[in-house]
Amino acid sequence: MVVRPAPLDQRQGLLCVAGRVIRCALGRGGIKTIKREGDGATPLGSMRLMHAFVRRDRMRPLFSGLSLKPIGEDDGWCDAPADRNYNRPVSLPYKASHERMRRGDHLYDVVIVLDANMRPRKRGMGSAIFFHLARPGYLPTEGCVAISRRDLEWLLPRLSPKTVLTVVR
């Protein structure tokens, strides 16, 4: 899977996969070679798809080659660079800065964890880089790649832990 920025707006892109071109949203900071925590940029390069979290109360049963884990009330993701669990899942409540995985909006009804800044993990070099559902109008993300629900439902059965998402310029 390859993501290219749209010609007129670096915060939107085109995902090319299995002979299809799918519209996507990218980070508000565009695409950057060197990702920093809070810059809003989507990292340039290749990222492996690890597994997915799913809101089972909002999604019909899904099939994928990826492991599909239910999102619980206490699921979070640490985004505090100084914390020992930086860029790792955490259980809520959590003292350090974190993102709640069970959101009120629909962005994380299906959220795929990418291996961006996972191994090796470098503090301050970006956290919670996910592949998830897009906002209406494909508004920019905080650094993730996001597509429509319909497109993600089509794509999920075609994904596996061997799938790589490559972001290019």
DSSP for 53-111, written as a single string: EE-TTTS-----SS-EEEPPTTEEEE--TTSTTTTSEEESS-SS-EEESS-SSSTTSEE
- The answer to whether the CB of 47 falls within 8 A of the CB of 114 is yes
Q: Which of 54, 38, 48 is nearest to 1 (CA)?
A: 48
> pLDDT tens digits, the chain, 169 residues: what are they?
999 999 899 999 999 999 999 999 999 999 999 999 999 999 999 999 999 999 999 998 899 999 999 999 999 999 999 999 999 999 999 999 999 999 999 999 999 999 999 999 999 999 999 999 999 999 999 999 999 999 999 999 999 999 999 999 9
